Amino acid sequence: MHLYRAALSGVLCLFILTGASFGVRAQSAKHKKYVVIGYVGGYRGLVDTALVDAQKLTHINYAFVNVQNNRAWLTNLKTDSTNFRNLNKLKLKNPGLKILISIGGWLWSGNFSDAVLSDTSRRAFAASAVQIIRDYGLDGVDIDWEYPAQAGAGNKFRPEDQQNYTLMFKSLREELDQAEKQTGRNLLLTTAVGGFKRFLDLTEMGKAQAYLDYINLMTYDYFQDSLGVAVHHTNLYPSKMYTAEDNADKTVKDYIAAGVPAAKLVMGLAFYGRSSIVAENSQNGLGVKTTGKAQAGGYTMIKDSLINKKGFKYYRDKDAKAPYLYNPSSRQFISFDDEWSVKNKAEYVKDKKMGGLMFWEYTSDTKEYLLDELNKVLGK
DSSP 303: I
Active site residue 146: yes
Instruction: Determine how many CB atoms are found less than 10 A away from the CB of residue 70.
Output: 19
290 with 304: CB under 8 angstroms? no
Give the C-alpha separation, 6 to 42, whole Å.
11
Nearest by Cα to 37 from 261, 291, 266: 266
Burial letters 192-213, b for 16+ CB under 10 A, else e: bbbbbeebbebbbbebbbbbbb
- 3-class DSSP assignment, residue 46: coil
Nearest by Cα to 3 from 199, 161, 221, 191: 221
Burial letters 36-65, b for 16+ CB under 10 A, else e: bbbbbbbbeeebebeebbbeebbbbbbbbb
What is the 3-class SS of 90-120, one letter each residue? Answer: HHHCCCCCEEEEEEECCCCCCCHHHHCCCHH
**CA angle, corner 47, sides to 370 and 68, nearest 5?**
110
Nearest by Cα to 225 from 276, 167, 264: 276
107 φψ region: left (φ > 0), alpha (ψ -120 to 50), beta (else): alpha
Q: Looking at this protein, which amino acid is placed at residue 182?
A: Q
Show which residues are catalytic. 146
